[in-house]
Amino acid sequence: MIDLPPKPHSRPEKYSFLKYLKAFRQDILSAQPNHLYRAWMAEFRTLFFHSFLINQPALIQLVLQQRPDDFPKSSRIATGLYSLLGDSVFLTTGSTWQRQRRIVNPAFEGGRLKQAFPAIQAAGDAFLAELSPGTVDVEPLASKLAADVIFRTLFSVPIEDKTASKVFDAFRTYQRQQPVANLPALVPALRWLPFWQNRRVKRSALEIRGLITHLTHIRQDQIAAGRAPQDLATRLLSTQDPETGTRLSLSEMVDQVMIFFLAGHETSAAALSWALYLLARYPQFQDQVAQEAAHLTGSEDFAAMRNLPFTRDVFRETLRLYPPVPMMVREVKQRGEVFRGRRVPKNSLIIISPWYVQRQNRIWERPDEFDPMRWQEMPIADCQRQAFLPFSSGPRICPGAGFAMIEGPYLLARIVQKYRLSCRDLPVPQPLAHLTLRARSGIYLRFDPR
């Protein structure tokens, strides 16, 4: 019998709307029917919203790459995230988004990634210095490690820095309270109800933004005095838009830092946690990573990443099975759209789910199996390339995708080089879609020195 990694049980095909709302509030994935793993498109209509989930690569390419301006990010998603992310590049559209991307993109070009590598190394060193043998929940550990990476990369300070530590603690509160999507966003009539207004979420968001504003003020003063470190924050504050000649204002900078912290910390932590679990569950692949990582010392240069091809495949396969952001929402901007012979009304929602399309059994062989070797098969089919969306695709692809594909494999290799991971006789983690794809009750692993 094939040993498959865990995935949520699907709901019954026939489900009342009220039951669906309750299940959706608890976990988006287990609220969906099983046929989504095979369907090219599925329509869902209620009194409050009309949505289409698309799994067909050609349709996904149409929405994300060929005509992205006709399918902008849904404003309903901003309802749940605006208090934290403001007018960040994650939520804006149109000319505002275009200007922000012209300023942000250069900070993540290839040469810039090389400059960020020492920050990843330093965070890995600090993490391994604190890690002790035994059984632990890896999610909070990975969360702290990823937060350390992003603070070192952004502001050249470790997580132990007083302000950085406060941001991390406040974000943990926010993450526990805020789901990946909320019902008031989908059902506007519910927005006025006090039941839906989570004061702790808003309070945490305000606290985080206040702390980031403090750090940004300090950096602006350092730039003016000519003594600012050449990290990501300095590059973002110093970069001019090549078309308008403008720079990010203080409030704009805070907004961008918020999404970098969310994307660079929360999603990285989720991916690293699942990767560690999968290697613990499949020791034959863990041994291959350990062999590949044997040469690492913590002081290697960026070129060492070339010697971790299998570890990158492990991380890539983890992102396929457990994409940190399991669903993306777009909105139909104009009338007359037709998908697969079906009319798609204006203002309806288009759901693109990396979770479902990356497990689509018409696209992937053995879609629920963890098999890093599949990425070594040449060539990867075009439909599979188009169906691999952990960082989205097209103009709105995550600008930090390249950074994540360095950070994740490198930290994974460093950990496995020092410790043997196991999960025997420990609880099996159950995927749960909150702000990102985490485990319902944590991911417990045993760490034994090699």
Write down the domain spans for the chain. 17-449
Q: Which among 75-84, 88-97, 226-235, 371-380 has the top mean pLDDT? A: 226-235
pLDDT: which is higher, 130 or 86? 130
State the Cα–Cα distance between residues 7 and 368, nearest whole angstrom: 8
Confidence band, pLDDT 50/70/90 cuts, at residue 190: very low
Instruction: Give pLDDT, residue 129.
Output: 94
Instruction: Give pLDDT, residue 399.
Output: 87
Average pLDDT over residues 141-151: 93
pLDDT in tens, 306-328: 999 999 999 999 999 999 999 89
Residue 2 has pLDDT above 90, yes or no: no
Residue 184 has pLDDT above 70, yes or no: no
Residue 189 has pLDDT above 50, yes or no: no
Residue 346 has pLDDT above 90, yes or no: yes
Confidence band, pLDDT 50/70/90 cuts, at residue 198: low
Average pLDDT over residues 203-220: 88
17-449 has which CATH code?
1.10.630.10
Instruction: Give pLDDT, residue 78.
Output: 62
Which one, of 113, 170, 57, lies nearest residue 410 by Cα? 113
Average pLDDT over residues 225-243: 91
State the Cα–Cα distance between residues 199 and 184, nearest whole angstrom: 15
State the Cα–Cα distance between residues 38 and 345, nearest whole angstrom: 24
- Work out the percent of the chain whose per-residue pLDDT is above 70: 90
Q: Which among 20-34, 192-206, 358-372 has the top mean pLDDT? A: 358-372
pLDDT in tens, 154-169: 999 998 888 888 888 8
3-state helix/strand/coil string of the chain: CCCCCCCCCCECCCCCHHHHHHHHHHCCHHHCEHHHHCCCEEEEECCCCEEEEECCHHHHHHHHHHCHHHCCECHHHHHHHHHHHCCCCCCCCHHHHHHHHHHHHHHHCHHHHHHHHHHHHHHHHHHHHHCCCEEEEHHHHHHHHHHHHHHHHHHCCCCCCHHHHHHHHHHHHHHHHCCCCCHHHHCHHHCCCHHHCCHHHHHHHHHHHHHHHHHHHHHHHHHHHCCCCCCHHHHHHHCCCCCCCCCCCHHHHHHHHHHHHHHHHHHHHHHHHHHHHHHHHCHHHHHHHHHHHCCCCCCCCHHHHHHCHHHHHHHHHHHHHCCCCCCEEEECCCCCEEECCEEECCCCEEEECHHHHCCCCCCCCCCCCCCHHHHHCCCCCHHHHHCCCECECHHHCCCCHHHHHHHHHHHHHHHHHHEEEECCCCCCCCEEECCCEEECCCCEEEEEEC
Instruction: Give pLDDT, residue 180.
Output: 46
Residue 262 has pLDDT above 80, yes or no: no
Residue 137 has pLDDT above 90, yes or no: yes
298: left (phi over 0), alpha (psi -120 to 50) or beta: left
Residue 80 has pLDDT above 90, yes or no: no
Instruction: Give pLDDT, residue 181.
Output: 47
pLDDT in tens, 263-294: 778 899 999 999 999 999 999 999 999 999 99
Instruction: Give pLDDT, residue 376.
Output: 85
Instruction: Give pLDDT, residue 378.
Output: 58
Residue 413 has pLDDT above 70, yes or no: yes
Predicted TM-score (pTM) of the model is 0.92
Instruction: Give pLDDT, residue 287.
Output: 96
